[in-house]
Structure 1
């Protein structure tokens, strides 16, 4: 699995630098978040990690990997809008309970990003470096993912990214997942129709009341 790259730029981007990824993906191999984009190839969903070689890509086969509506929903939950690096001048906007994504030092210089929840902010006077405001506050956050899950750490602004609550809007991903999700609805309708055709006609018979009542409650509980 590729190593994460830091999202918070320390220098001005070059004129031809690629724009930041529009979305992030939680990888199956290490459950860390990476900038990613997707394409559909031969009916499969291909997840391509930003700034990593092709052999790091992850693939999803609709038939084998997405065998139920729950599988589709679980895959959809692995994508979200790209997190934003916390701006030094806006640290005061954070509140306890906010969802964060933090850089986690995996030792050996490897950095990966996992989610956490903000618990407290320790305010400190901001300084100025090269004419830019620099936050000196400390943020206590409890990890909800990754190797330090359940632990609390006090970190600086340089490792903090803010999770965006608004839903992801990627037409390729949305169309692929919606198509697979709708397939289960069609399969259910076909199975129901086949069952009705195979069942005895029961002409002249009256179904027991208890059977009808059970069916009605079962349908209600399925929505």
Structure 2
């Protein structure tokens, strides 16, 4: 019979420190201008946008040296991110007002049916009594993005998400964008200093008067004796 091995007393490892959950956010892709859940990292100075439930070949990259020619380009990228849009709760459909910004699910039919999300603006609400299945109201919306941009549609609550008003707060994204904004500010300051250094030094009143006197003497006609 094999001898039984004695087990050494083990000290339980301390639990790993709790990590703060990364803020959930959405990103409007350059490929189709639809909104997707995403997270970002900075790798070798480049901003990498990684889509939820997508493979690496779908990632989008931003190069500070090639993709940003002005502070406006930085602002445009910042506008592509926002906090996660939450589905409209059945109990809060009465809180919506015309002009509210919404994000709606849109089915694109083709060889493979795809569900994408695009923004729209609420036009009107047809109120209806809530039943067993919840909200039965109908929402007339005007699409501002996607294949139906500019068109009006009437939809139910199942496809409606509410766009948050508060700005996105992601430390990685904020640091990347703030560094770019700071760089453009420094470049502008350097250009202004160089321009000031290259500008001619203004002539004082006394120097200008002396120049006029010398010029008048130079142009004065000489006497027949050769003396001025």
TM-score normalised according to structure 2 size: 0.76
The answer to whether structure 1 residue 110 and structure 2 residue 114 are counterparts is yes
Query: In structure 1, what is the equivalent of residue 187 of structure 2?
Result: 187
Aligned pair in 2 of structure 1 residues 21, 54: CA closer, same or farther (>3 Å)?
A: farther
Query: In structure 2, what is the equivalent of residue 127 of structure 1?
Result: 131
CA distance in 2, matches of 1:44, 1:80: 20
Query: In structure 2, what is the equivalent of residue 15 of structure 1?
Result: none
Q: After superposition, what is the alpha-carbon deviation per residue over 1:57-86, rounded to whole angstroms, capped at 9, x for unaligned? A: 000001110111010011111111111101
Query: Structure 1 residue runs of 4+, over 6 Å off?
Result: none
Displacement of 1:128 after TM fit?
2.0
Contact 2:140 2:154 in 1 (8 A): yes
Contact 2:38 2:49 in 1 (8 A): yes
CA distance in 1, matches of 2:95, 2:200: 66
Query: In structure 2, what is the equivalent of residue 101 of structure 1?
Result: 103
CA RMSD after TM alignment: 1.7
Displacement of 1:200 after TM fit?
2.8
Query: Counterparts in 2 of 1:32-111, with a 5 A limit?
Result: 32-108=34-110, 109-111=113-115
The answer to whether structure 1 residue 197 and structure 2 residue 201 are counterparts is no
Q: After superposition, what is the alpha-carbon deviation per residue over 1:107-159, rounded to whole angstroms, capped at 9, x for unaligned? A: 14211110001111111221225xxxx21111111101111011111111110
Contact 1:32 1:146 in 2 (8 A): yes
CA distance in 1, matches of 2:169, 2:116: 24
Query: In structure 2, what is the equivalent of residue 213 of structure 1?
Result: none
Aligned pair in 2 of structure 1 residues 99, 67: CA closer, same or farther (>3 Å)?
A: same
Aligned residues: 184
Displacement of 1:20 after TM fit?
9.7
CA distance in 2, matches of 1:146, 1:21: 26
Query: In structure 1, what is the equivalent of residue 148 of structure 2?
Result: 148
> Could you list the runs of 5+ residues in structure 1 that have no partner in the other structure?
1-18, 207-223
What is the DSSP-based 3-state SS (H/G/I as helix, E as strand, rest coil) of the residue aligned with 2:132? strand
What is the DSSP-based 3-state SS (H/G/I as helix, E as strand, rest coil) of the residue aligned with 2:175? helix
What is the DSSP-based 3-state SS (H/G/I as helix, E as strand, rest coil) of the residue aligned with 1:75? helix
Displacement of 1:197 after TM fit?
2.2
CA distance in 2, matches of 1:113, 1:60: 23
The answer to whether structure 1 residue 175 and structure 2 residue 182 are counterparts is no
Displacement of 1:203 after TM fit?
4.6
Aligned pair in 2 of structure 1 residues 115, 20: CA closer, same or farther (>3 Å)?
A: farther
CA distance in 1, matches of 2:152, 2:175: 39
TM-score normalised according to structure 1 size: 0.78
CA distance in 1, matches of 2:205, 2:160: 68
Of structures 1 and 2, the larger Rg is shown by 2
Displacement of 1:202 after TM fit?
3.1
Contact 1:21 1:50 in 2 (8 A): no
